[in-house]
Amino acid sequence: MESNLRRLRKTVRIRNLVSETELSVNNFVLPYFVVEGTKIKDTTSSMPEINKLSLDYLIEDIHDAMENGIRAILLFGVPGLKDEIGSSGYSPDGIIQKSIRKIKDTFKDDLIVMSDVCLCAFTSHGHCGILRNGLIDNEASLEKLSAIALSHAESGADFVCPSAMMDRQVHAIRQSLDSGGFNHTGILGYSAKYASSFYYPFREVLGSQPAFGDRKTYQMDYRSSNQAMIEIEQDIQEGADIIMVKPALSYLDIIFRAKQTYPVPLAAYNVSGEYAMVKSIARNDPVMEKMIALEILTSIKRAGADIIISYFAKKIGNWLNEKSI
């Protein structure tokens, strides 16, 4: 029998009827870059329309995002001070700690606050761990990452999100949260995080480019997918509540495989380079931007991601309401 597949494509109503993948603003997380000071809104050349905001403006921006349906954010901090051991990353008055307190105080449990737990933004050398004799020392790094995570939990974070790719980081953080009385604070592990050039725009924004070498001794080699499964399995065993694959677009096979293999909620990070790529193709044409972004974000969900972290998240609510896909 000859098939006539075009019957199911005849009208937009029929296409909608048989559609298998639906984006929802509920599943999106909006990342933010917060800086010290007041009344600061620094544009970034590498990521058009993404600004570095001081806390006062950040609160205003979150109000806007919530009007558009966003209920989860992921915070990155640009500290005033960087040193060898990333001290401002775990100071109770660090930029992230102050921000989480103020945000949770303002929005309470109507907004999920997630915080990135890493050292690269806070160290003078820009690496995600602590250096000893020029090498990243795993154990020394775990101690600092646990201190960062605990300080975020104390400030009121709902989920702490370790992204340093140190071995056993989820275990160390889970222990320090539990012994600090933060059994209720969740962990979203950046489980399978690849050493990717798609992070360059982000590093420019955050000023977190490593001063020497690269991140290939801790982030994953993109030629492997088996190791991603081991990383994810370990994170689950160590106590991750949510796992993540990052980046998303060049890693849809990893997302698919993770979803088929593990029943844990799966997040995918649509990273800065993926965002910048769309912006450069769309060249200020908002319709083009929407069409390309929706195609990419739908493919990430179709591959198996339950949660998508994306710089487009603020626009998703409006895009989906326009119903002109």
Candidates 136-144, 196-204, 282-290, 297-305; binding stretch for ligand PBG (CB under 6 A): 196-204
Judged by CB under 6 A, the chain residues 100 through 119 that form the site for ligand PBG are 116, 118
Among 58, 120, 150, 192, binds ligand PBG (CB under 6 A): 120
Cis peptide preceding 247, ω within 30 of 0: yes
Q: Is 246 a catalytic residue?
A: yes
For ligand PBG, the closer of residues 165 and 266 by Cβ is 165
First-last CA distance in the chain: 32
Q: Does 187 contact ligand PBG by CB under 6 A?
A: no
Of 144, 193, 279, 314, the active-site residue reads 193
Print the SS3 string covering 3-40.
CCHHHHHCCHHHHHHCCCCCCCHHHEEEEEEEECCCCC
Q: Which of 53, 128, 220, 243 binds ligand PBG (CB under 6 A)?
A: 128
Q: Which of 107, 203, 261, 277 binds ligand PBG (CB under 6 A)?
A: 203
User: For residues 72 and 128, which CB has a smaller minimum distance to ligand PBG in the complex?
Assistant: 128
Residues 138-167: x/- map of binding to ligand PBG (CB under 6 A)? -------------------------x----
Tell which one of 220, 271, 296, 308 touches ligand PBG (CB under 6 A). Answer: 271
Residue (of 64, 114, 78, 58) closest to 267 by Cα position: 114
Please tell me the distance from the alpha carbon of residue 244 to that of residue 309, in angstroms, as a whole number: 10
Q: Which residue has the tokens 């399995």?
A: 233
Q: Give 220's strand partners.
A: 194
82 given a catalytic annotation:
no
Q: Catalytic one among 52, 82, 246, 315?
A: 246
Instruction: Compare residues 9 and 216 and give the one whose CB is closer to ligand PBG.
Output: 216
Which residue number, 34 or 271, has a Cβ lying nearer to ligand PBG?
Answer: 271
Q: How far does CA 303 lie from the centroid of its chain?
A: 18
Report CA 71 to chain centroid distance, whole Å: 14
Residue 286, CB half-sphere, CA atoms under 13 Å: how many? 6
Distances (CA, A) of 324 to 88, 126, 128, 321: 46, 44, 43, 8
Residues that bind ligand PBG (CB under 6 A): 116, 118, 120, 128, 163, 199, 202-203, 215, 271-272
Positions marked catalytic: 193, 246
